[in-house]
Amino acid sequence: MEPDNPLLDDFILSLAPKTPAKICFIPTASADSAFYLVKFYRAFSGRAIPTDLTTFESASLPRNPAHTSELARFVAEQDIVYVGGGNTANLLSIWRVHGLDRILRHAWRRGVILCGVSAGMICWFRDGLTDSYGGLARLGDGLGFINASACPHYGGEKLRRPAYRKAIKQGLLGGYAADDGAALHFRGTSLVEVVTSRKRAAAYRVELVDGRVRETRLKSRFLGA
């Protein structure tokens, strides 16, 4: 989202156990957009070892155990998995066809860094607010690595905040909201810190307390000078 501001990308690379880090882009949510792939390689070439995992064209094929095993080996070789934005519901469906949901869970448990933007944020959580269905609605079936809900673009799209708060009021699991330019850094299932690439960006804990929606701005660290 910020081609001229690499602060969040730099932060992600700083978490890797070695340099140059192996970083794999998964653009499933954008139907493996070639434009998105080009943006990724421009962002990371020369300072990491970038690669990609595209699945969209073969998503309708029956699952092949040999193919699943090959995917598992490939993902296990990465230091970082970076998931792009787009349609979260489509992403989850395609990953489950390939068994990639389980492969990523295993990689996460082994210490592979998982990250992403927009759909690439929501997917790791139990639930979230998505526009996958044509309007803002509850996702319902995230991967659940983090037992909470998620809402990206919180301050960047005027309908996000009221829609997320309404959904929580109506029973959506409480969780985390992030403005564009804000990132939630989890280690395992514990939130370590919030970092930002923009001075005014923020992240929030949003939950239902005594029948009312409580929104708490989380302490953050600006990555710039």
Annotated catalytic residues are 118, 153
* Residue at token pair 């192996």: 22
Shortest CA distance to 27 belongs to which of 14, 45, 40, 16? 40
Q: What is the C-alpha separation between 171 and 205, in angstroms, rounded? A: 16
Asked if residue 197 lies in contact with residue 159, where contact means CB atoms within 8 angstroms, the answer is: no
Could you tell me the two tokens for 161?
């905040």
Task: Decide: residue 78, CB within 10 A, 0-12 exposed, 13-18 middle, 19+ buried.
Answer: buried
